[in-house]
Structure 1
Amino acid sequence: MLPQDVSRAVVAPARPIPSGRVGLVAAALVVLGEAGWLAAGLPGAAEVSDLGAVALAAWAAFACLRVARRHPVALRRFWTLLAATMALAALGRVLWMVERLGGRELPHTPLIGGLFTAGIVTGTAALLCSLAAPRSLVGQARTLLDGVIVALALIPIGWVVVFRDLAAAELTDPLRTWGLLYPMFDLMQLTILVAVAGPSRPMWRAWAVIGASLATRAAADTAYVSLVAHGSYTSGHPIDVCWPLSYLLIGAATRYPPPAGSDGAEETTESPLPPWWRVALPYLPVGGAIVAVALSRRPTGQTPHLIFLCMMALLGVLALRQGLAANENLRLVARLRRLAYSDQLTGLPNRLTFTRRLRRALRDEAPVAVLLLDLDGFKQVNDRFGHVTGDRLLTTIAERMRDATADDGMIARLGGDEFAVLVDGDRPVSPERLAERLLAALEPLPGEEDLGLNPSASIGIAEYGPQHASHTDLLRDADIAMYAAKAAGKSAYRTCTPALRESAVTRAELIAELRRAVDEGQLCVEYQPIVDLATGTVRSAEALVRWRHPRLGVLPPAAFLPLAEETGLIVPIDRWVLHEACRAAAAWRERAPQVTVAVNLAAAHLRRPDLIATVIAATAGAGLPPRALTLELTESALIEGSDAVLDRLRQLRELGIRLAIDDFGTGYSSLSYLHHIPATELKVDRSFVARLGAEDVRAYATVEMVNRLAAAFDLAVVAEGVETDAQHAAVTAIGCVHGQGWRYGRPAALPELLTALTPVDATR
């Protein structure tokens, strides 16, 4: 009979909310005092009951109104509606008390009933407007119907439970029958509360308090209707304390702030999937209602009018709910189709759509061409500016390419920074002309050059021909041409030719054979001496891997190591070379204890957390002192290193491992990184040394500058690629400490190196 109170889990600012602790304690004392008064049966119990309910409802209304002012609009609306619900409860109870004092024991007047009904409406509206509630009108209607279904289904059950021992003549009083609607409305709101709060994340503790308020009200209304139906209720009954208690819980719920980090803003993430019980919740009581209808039939075979009307209403609401469910299913199917066939970031067709269109075009036997685009330098944009900026750039690029393609083809995003254009039918423009338009569309606009956000594209073109058995063959050829365009430089396009196709096949075969080479022991290591330029003594030897190919013969590193880096095979290859070199160095140090070994490591090793363990295992397993091992690393690999990479390099130096910067001068050559990298030597690239013999003044100055720079950082210098006496004389005059090249010895197997471990005449 009293208004229903409801609440919902909301998100709002996480700032602290004043507790109103004094008011809450006072309200709790009022409830405890009323409970004691009514339980003891003291005089004036009816007046105490009415005054307690009015006071608690008014206090709860004030508490809700006060907290509403401290929240954003959406949350403020929720608390304001709850305040209205409590105010209606207080007003209805005041009129109840006035009517009762006027001589009516149970004053169920239309006005009082209207106030209580209005409270039900505002309470339900509060739940449905909460931030955790569905945003759409359809979703809100579905949630409301779920509550109505539960309420209507429980009415027959309540009839059997409450009125099972009453004669038909005693049920003619409308209060005894229609009063059963009050607890059903409570349960309707409780169902809505569970539906709204169930999927919300994170959970708001106020939900549990408000749910307890509704459960208390439902129990009180059920007991009240049963007592009235059996003629045993009088004002001031101990059950009356339950309504003030429910109001107390509403006021207590205002003390819980929303979860931290919630600001009331529109959520952009997907709502969590509801649990199975949430989906089945509105239908669970229906089976019980059917049984209750059978049990409620009178001896005459008639069904009570209230039960009949409720069941008819239940059928109508179920039909409406199923209609909404069907509508949502249709919308979901449409959304799933959009998700399945379009790219969510750019709005372009995705790989699935592109493949289907391509296969259909091939079935129609129309002229077909595919343009495959891959953005150059897009990874650097993500690394430098972050993925949010990268996504924004992809969206802009997609719009430009869509405009450039126009109606001459279908452009799709295949994934990442890869796009494709399908040109079929009459082809009003040639694929090459379309590629030029796409490249022009990606050129930076005025002012964009300085932003660093203007990646170009490499485009591969493949036209359908007799060599293409399927769409995969066509895409493969476009991919081959695209990699050829990348090799030709940025902002370029290439058309797949038989020569390109044959080269790609050869490359693929070589990669497959390289995988077997690692397992079948086809790799070997040769060693090239590194000498002291002043004495000619061999000070170290660089380990260089060779591939004894069963068909192509011995292949140098340049013929297969780039493929190994692309495929990830470089890691096991380098690890094998490291172990072989350490074992070889341990063997030759028995003859020449001062000679160390140098091993090249690819950049991929620096990013591996097991780098230190790998090096320790190689040296310890061979019995080689760590100081006898030098790891050679390229400039670019070192400069791109993160803090974790630098930390690993420092750990290697602490172990005694020496670190050399290989091919110095061909990478970034930034002076700043020398302050951070714990290197021990620089290896001057052979391209500079090669020009010394021709008395190239610039080359001489470059090598001399590197030598001085190394001295400033206390680094040793190794001149690579020394082949002639003139080059030897030049690097010696410049002051380089060590030299390496054919002038001092070609790469050779370990037995041949052992014979070279004697001083070399530096003046010969």
Structure 2
Amino acid sequence: MAPARRPLSGRVGLVAAALVVLGEAVWLVAGLPGGALVSDVGAVAVSGWAAVACAGVARRHPAPLRRFWALLAATMILAALGRTVWTVERLGGHGLPHTPLVGALFTAGIVTGTAALLCSVAAPRSLVGQARTLLDGVIVGLALIPIGWVVVFRNLAAADLADPLRTFGLLYPMLDLMQLTILVAIAAPPRPVWRALTVIGIGLATRAVADAGYVSLVAHDSYAPGHPIDVCWPLSYLLMGLATRYPPPPSCAEEEETGESPLPPWWRVALPYLPVGGAIVAVVLARRPTGQTPHLIFLGMMALLGVLALRQGLAANENLRLVARLRRLAYSDQLTGLPNRLTFTRRLRRALRDDGPVAVLLLDLDGFKQVNDRFGHAAGDRLLRTIAERMTDATGRDGMIARLGGDEFAVLVAGDRPVPPERLALRLLAALEPLPGEEDLGVHPSASIGIAEYGPQHTSHTDLLRDADIAMYAAKAAGKSAYRTCTPQLRESAVTRAELIADLRRAVDEDQLLMEFQPIVDLSTGAVRSAEALLRWRHPRLGVLPPARFLPLAEETGLILAIDRWVIHEACRAAAIWRERSPEVTVAVNIAAAHLRRPDLIATVTGAVGAVGLPLRALTLELTESALIEGSEAVLDRLTQLRDLGVGIAIDDFGTGYSSLSYLHRIPATELKIDQSFVARLDADDARAYATVEMVNRLAGAFDLTVVAEGVETGGQHAAVTAIGCVHGQGWRYGRPVALPELLQTLTPVDAAR
């Protein structure tokens, strides 16, 4: 939406007001006759125009800008009225009409102007913040009273100060400087600078100079209406009207929406206290020879002390609130409102010191990462809050639930427990079951719960938490959405697991990994046209380990990335050797889901292929259904680029995961591998299994995907998949996984009938 155009009348009014100020300045400096009337009429005219300009811009803005400009319009109206009354009374023979009515009008303008500043987009939003800013301005203004006394009235005789209106004239510049201090406080960096406030600040400074100069001239009996200093007042009004030409910066509105207030610079904090030292010195200098302090200074200092006490009381209250907030931040989780890890640990240690029965339930959400990946972190945060509420209701008074971080929660059960921890775990699992209608959302994960009860085998709270963690991983291994209690067997298994992880970290560097290849045959000819690279680990103590024994650990620890890179390079090297004897063969390698999310996947693949001079079409990447369906758009784009380069993309173990037609449309696959669990049932004349394999084969044909039947072990299974029309087969029927030298011996066609 294009910004609204400023009306032509506004520009004409600004030019006219500027000409009035310029004309008045020339008139007064030249000392032409009628200067007093010119001064009064000019001030009334420009202040009236400024009031109209502020009122006009107020109608075009939403709150709080409307309040800001409306209050400034009221300020200019009061200035025009005050100057009009001043002019009328002066022409009526009052000389310098320092009457209560004029003073009341100008003071009311100060009040509305101050209220306008506190309503601006840069002002604090809270009442406490606004009160603090107002008190800062009052402190500066009161501190400047004794300073102004020394500057203006120091050399005047006491008789010259008998007129109270003459001495109390110091209040005008004091109020001006109070407003200027408030403006500096609210517009101080690092807030974005709004040019309107800058122009208004210049106007306030101009008015402060005018009021200070006027008071000094009057005090020394050297002021007469029409003095050149009079031009400063209409100039300040002109600047107020000019400020309406500047819209607020967008960042001000954004800050208002977020409610975030940036930290002020150090000088902003010290600003109200800087003039206080000068005020103390001025009080000493202002003492009369008789030792008395002028009444105005005495009253001003008493007021200053009162305001300082009020300001410090407000600061002390804010400090107490800040301490309370910091305690909440330190001991509670900001997302869910639950106690955090620090609070949980402190309560656990206190419970252990009480020597009562203590149990810990450690919960880890199953599949929560997929929620963040598919729906974004905002959806994940909402889900965590919902889960926290359900688990809090399920726990009740039987324990203290805390969020330890991420998707990990813990429950402390201590003292006289009304329910066993196992029953509490069942209640928590039931609370996490999706409600009617939530099953279709796909954003409600279950939880795995580990239970550990304090006993003689524990020496500290860390041992108890370690056992709960061991039990939680056992619950995940048991199929998730379950609980397990830590036992000596689980503890021993965890130690073995930790040792295996430590050994796995050395496996790649010490060349302990090896590759075997299982042939993939052309079912129509029996020829070996491809092979799947299968990883093995030659463990120095445990012997050769299959991938199921160590790859899950590699995925949990992040070692899978280094292992995957080694597999890709080793498979490409083997394929290059093989293609020297059979130029059309290909090799397939399994890729972990973690590697799909790596932006350097394409570089890894192309680098491995290029290093051995292998064409990209000779490599196929095998990926599980779950890894593919949970992939982001960036992952799918990455796979599409690889497919367009010629790399094959195979869906491994098809039928065991989502098997949804919608995701087949999205995934850039070139090959589909039917899971061996379906092929295995073909031997038993299972009509459903036969129909399933046949359906998958037709589905693959519709999507132009090559089909590989996995797990073919018998002649009956071979005959069935061949009759169904599968193009390729893989399994012990055609060959077991073997090292590369043995694979090279299978280049002759395999007798598919044997």
Q: Say yes or no: does 1:564 pair with 2:554.
A: yes
Deviations 1:192-215 (A, max 9, x none): 112122268544322112111111
Task: Give unmatched runs, 5+ long, in structure 1.
Answer: 1-12
Q: How does 1:294-313 map to 2 (within 5 A)?
A: 294-298=284-288, 303-313=293-303
- Give the superposition deviation at 1:363: 0.9
Distance 1:630 1:92 in 2: 88
Distance 2:426 2:750 in 1: 59
CA contact (8 A) 1:14 1:259 kept: no
Distance 2:180 2:2 in 1: 26
Q: Say yes or no: does 1:100 pair with 2:90.
A: yes
Aligned to 2:517: 527
TM-score, L = length of structure 2: 0.93
Compared CA separation, residues 273 and 652, structure 1 to 2 (3 A): same
Moved more, 418-427 or 448-457: 448-457
Q: Say yes or no: does 1:590 pair with 2:580.
A: yes
Aligned to 1:518: 508
| 1:426 partner SS | coil
Distance 1:435 1:660 in 2: 41
Aligned to 2:392: 402
CA contact (8 A) 2:398 2:417 kept: yes
Q: Say yes or no: does 1:80 pair with 2:80.
A: no
Distance 2:638 2:441 in 1: 33
- The residue type equivalent to 2:535 in the other structure is V
Distance 1:78 1:174 in 2: 34
- The residue type equivalent to 1:734 in the other structure is I
Aligned to 2:489: 499
Compared CA separation, residues 84 and 714, structure 1 to 2 (3 A): closer
Q: How does 1:282-297 map to 2 (within 5 A)?
A: 282-297=272-287
Aligned to 2:753: 763
CA contact (8 A) 1:662 1:682 kept: yes
CA contact (8 A) 1:14 1:260 kept: no
CA contact (8 A) 2:121 2:253 kept: no
Identity %: 84
- Give the superposition deviation at 1:298: 4.9
Aligned to 1:3: none
Aligned to 1:152: 142
- Give the superposition deviation at 1:504: 2.2
- How big is the alpha-carbon RMSD for the aligned residues of Structure 1 and Structure 2? 2.6
Aligned to 1:468: 458
Q: How does 1:155-194 map to 2 (within 5 A)?
A: 155-163=145-153, 166=156, 170-194=160-184
Compared CA separation, residues 379 and 627, structure 1 to 2 (3 A): closer
Distance 1:430 1:629 in 2: 55
Q: Say yes or no: does 1:725 pair with 2:725.
A: no
Aligned to 2:621: 631
Distance 2:384 2:667 in 1: 35
Distance 2:450 2:647 in 1: 45
Moved more, 365-374 or 195-204: 195-204
Aligned to 1:537: 527
Aligned to 1:139: 129
Q: 1:271 aligns with which of 254, 257, 261?
A: 261
- Give the superposition deviation at 1:107: 1.6
Higher relative contact order by CA 8 Å / sep ≥ 6: 1 or 2? 1
| 1:407 partner SS | helix
Deviations 1:373-417 (A, max 9, x none): 233444454455554444444334333332332222222222333
Distance 1:471 1:172 in 2: 80
Instruction: Give the number of aligned pairs.
Output: 752
Distance 2:751 2:409 in 1: 61
Aligned to 2:567: 577
Q: Say yes or no: does 1:226 pair with 2:226.
A: no
Moved more, 372-381 or 599-608: 372-381
Aligned to 1:712: 702
- The residue type equivalent to 1:607 in the other structure is R
Distance 1:456 1:562 in 2: 20
Aligned to 2:80: 90
Q: 2:606 aligns with which of 594, 616, 628?
A: 616
- Give the superposition deviation at 1:190: 0.8
Aligned to 2:228: 238
Q: Say yes or no: does 1:123 pair with 2:117.
A: no
- Give the superposition deviation at 1:330: 1.0
- The residue type equivalent to 1:743 in the other structure is R
Aligned to 1:701: 691
Q: How does 1:201-216 map to 2 (within 5 A)?
A: 201-216=191-206
Distance 1:672 1:246 in 2: 69
Q: 2:339 aligns with which of 337, 349, 353?
A: 349
| 2:649 partner SS | strand
Compared CA separation, residues 39 and 317, structure 1 to 2 (3 A): same
CA contact (8 A) 1:15 1:257 kept: no
Aligned to 1:753: 743
- Give the superposition deviation at 1:484: 2.6
Aligned to 2:545: 555
CA contact (8 A) 1:582 1:619 kept: yes
TM-score, L = length of structure 1: 0.92
- Give the superposition deviation at 1:291: 3.5
Aligned to 2:58: 68
- The residue type equivalent to 1:351 in the other structure is R
| 1:468 partner SS | coil
CA contact (8 A) 1:16 1:257 kept: no
Q: Say yes or no: does 1:255 pair with 2:245.
A: yes
Compared CA separation, residues 426 and 640, structure 1 to 2 (3 A): closer
